[in-house]
Amino acid sequence: MKITGGRVNSFLNSPPDDMIGVLFFGPDRGLVKERAEALIKKLSDNPDDAFSSTVLTADDLTSDPARLADEMSALSMFGDQRLVRLRLDHERSGAAISKIIKELDLTPDRAAARLVVEAGDMTPRSAIRKAFEAAGQFAAIGCYQDKAADLANLVRRSLTESAIEIDRDALEFWVPLLEGDRILARNEIEKMILYKGFGETAGARVSAQDVKTIAAGAQAASIDDIIMSAMNGQTAKCDDAFKRAIAGKVNIAVILLSLQRHVSRLLEAHSYMQTGDRPENAIKALRPPVFFSQQQNFKNHLRIWPMKALHNALSETLKAEQQLKSAGAPGEAIVGRILLTLSGFAERRR
């Protein structure tokens, strides 16, 4: 079935008990991830437990298309709800995946697990998308860029939750800068909340000058320096930028989420290249667009990092994200280790 408009939030808040799987797709990969995570929290009490959750990639199914059916029919070791997460960066196994979806929809008793699929943009002709939309016990949810009004509501709601208000001219100036990716927007809002001290000062307000400071300030520059140098294999430069960011009180989680987003965009660009696009055209196809000043670095990263290594890098950042959520987790050490590992790999590939 196809879930659109106002039905999306109610569906995510209360997914049907007989729902076997959901496909999240669209150009806004940040919104894809956000909605997938919201559903996963409803489906599983412990989605990070290796015994209760299995993560697959498009490449896993390219070499073994039947693995999806095997994972969906496997029983949980402890009798709890199993979860299968599939991240699609290409549709080379589209016919096999769509066949499995159709078979499970006809024989739902064979499904011992719940399926959550995260994908990029899909045309209406996509075999996978059509299978989810046509099935009765599977759903497809498109994730498109927020409208200005939606982003404005997101900003106001997030700031209000931290007892922070925002001037009207600041909101009008800020919203266009946040368009294109939900995760990017949330990261920027989180930086602003940190900058304003979590609203602990009575009467905290965001001004247009605050937006200018955060949107083009030292934090954004230092995060870009960290990520670009790590992925380029410039270990010393990465370490120096990371230390400066720590000294400047940059949020560790924001650095990690920014790294995840960059790796995801590299994977998306690689998927365009696999259909025959040149790197330059693949970069131009990304939304939001890559800043002109970063395009050469982005092109270098596409050359240095093959898709398999990017999948591994993304997997490590997801594990680190879960570690950061644990009370007392050594955030600097966790993120610093990942940056060192990535820069070391890139240095050997340069």
Domain holding 185: CATH number?
Answer: 1.10.8.60
More confident call, 319 vs 98: 98
Report pLDDT for 340.
93
**Total domains, the chain:** 3
Residues 206 and 91 both lie in one domain: no
Q: What tokens does 79 get?
A: 């009798």
Residues 37 and 89 both lie in one domain: yes
Range of 181-185, 220-224, 328-332 with top mean pLDDT? 328-332
Residues 137 and 154 both lie in one domain: no
Mean per-residue pLDDT, 192-203: 77
Residues 10 and 70 both lie in one domain: yes
Q: Dump pLDDT digits (tens) for 273-291.
A: 887 788 888 888 887 677 7
**Confidence class of residue 12 from pLDDT cuts 50, 70 and 90?**
very high
- pLDDT of 202 higher than 50: yes
**Confidence class of residue 76 from pLDDT cuts 50, 70 and 90?**
low
Residues 208 and 250 both lie in one domain: no
Cβ contact 21:114 at 8 Å: yes
- pLDDT of 350 higher than 70: yes
Q: Residue 252 belongs to a domain with what CATH number?
A: 1.20.272.10
The C-alpha atoms of residue 309 and residue 35 are separated, in whole angstroms, by 26
Residues 7 and 128 both lie in one domain: yes
**Confidence class of residue 108 from pLDDT cuts 50, 70 and 90?**
very high
Residues 113 and 160 both lie in one domain: no
Residues 135 and 11 both lie in one domain: yes
Query: Which of 103, 123, 142 is the last residue before a domain boundary?
Result: 142
More confident call, 49 vs 126: 126
Residues 317 and 337 both lie in one domain: yes
Residues of the chain above pLDDT 90, percent: 40
Report pLDDT for 59.
85
* 155-158 contacts, C-beta under 8 A, 24 or more apart: 155/189, 158/186, 158/189, 158/193
**What is the domain range of residue 306?**
218-349
Report pLDDT for 120.
87
Residues 195 and 287 both lie in one domain: no
Mean per-residue pLDDT, 294-317: 91
**Confidence class of residue 215 from pLDDT cuts 50, 70 and 90?**
low
Residues 38 and 126 both lie in one domain: yes
Residues 7 and 124 both lie in one domain: yes
Report pLDDT for 261.
84
Report pLDDT for 301.
95
**82 strand-pairing partners:** 113
Query: Which of 172, 199, 215 is the last residue before a domain boundary?
Result: 215
Q: Dump pLDDT digits (tens) for 312-330.
A: 998 888 888 888 877 677 8
What is this structure's pTM? Answer: 0.58
3-state SS record for the chain: CEECCCHHHHHHHCCCCCCCEEEEECCCHHHHHHHHHHHHHHHCCCCCCCCCEEEEEHHHHHHCCCHHHHHHHCCCCCCCCEEEEEEECCCCCHHHHHHHHHHHHHCHHHCCEEEEEEECCCCCCCHHHHHHHHCCCEEEEECCCCCHHHHHHHHHHHHHHCCCEECHHHHHHHHHHHCCCHHHHHHHHHHHHHHCHHHCCCCCEECHHHHHHHHCCHHHHHHHHHHHHHHHCCHHHHHHHHHHHHHCCCCHHHHHHHHHHHHHHHHHHHHHHCCCCCHHHHHHHCCCCCCHHHHHHHHHHHHHCCHHHHHHHHHHHHHHHHHHCCCCCCHHHHHHHHHHHHHHHHHHHC
Query: Which of 181, 215, 249 is the last residue before a domain boundary?
Result: 215
Report pLDDT for 50.
60
Q: Residue 107 belongs to a domain with what CATH number?
A: 3.40.50.300
